[in-house]
Amino acid sequence: MFESEATLFQTAGIKIGADLDVNETKSHTESLAPYNIKLRNRSLEMARLYSIIFCFENNVRDYIRETLTENLGVDWWDKLPQKIKSHAESRQATALKDSWLEGEKMDLLGFVDFGMLGGIIIEKWEYFGNVIPSQHWLKQRMDELEKTRNFIAHNRMLLPSEFQRIYMYIADWNRIIGQ
């Protein structure tokens, strides 16, 4: 049976093949089994935050890319500050040398540090100021989210109050940007 035929049956509610969700859940459970329950529970709490930060950070990148492409054209990257471009290009060159490491390596904006994303928006404020309330509003949120993002990325546990701050700031962003 071809994949396209399988999809037709699956959309009709007929199960075909292995249930990937069950296999993935089983594999995840087995991978966590050696660790104590407290550590596993904390890891699952932090995994939720990681997924939110991952989506937020990449949404900010997409928003920058779309806004600058619309206003400056496809060569918008060339119009960014040299410091930001050099940093990203250096990190990309390192990633390309690490040929064993697979993943996205061509998107230069993906190599810009989280903390520099707000700097791009402020540098090109004339294209973002009609949507984002103020540079102060942006800087405050991006600075605080960068600190919590780095905590998460380096596997340190946050307190529940920090969870709430992340949820609030990202909800503010989504409301403002129109997500």
122 belongs to a structural domain: yes
128 belongs to a structural domain: yes
**What pLDDT sits at residue 98?**
80
20 belongs to a structural domain: no
4 belongs to a structural domain: no
Q: Give 10-residue mean pLDDT values along the chain (179 residues).
A: 65 66 76 89 89 94 97 96 96 85 82 95 97 96 94 90 92 88
How many domains, the chain? 1
DSSP for 29-62, written as a single string? HHHHTTS-HHHHHHHHHHHHHHHHHHHHHHHHHH
Q: Where are the beta strands (DSSP E) in the chain?
A: none
pLDDT tens profile 3-45 = 666 676 677 667 666 666 677 778 778 888 898 999 988 888 8
Can you give the residue range of the structural domain that contains 168? Answer: 38-177
68 belongs to a structural domain: yes
Give percent above pLDDT 70 in the chain. Answer: 87
Residue 3 vs residues 10, 16, 17, 55, 124: alpha-carbon distances, Å:
10, 10, 10, 29, 46
Q: Is the dihedral of CA 130, 131, 133, 134 positive or negative?
A: negative
99 belongs to a structural domain: yes
pTM value is: 0.80
102 belongs to a structural domain: yes
30 belongs to a structural domain: no
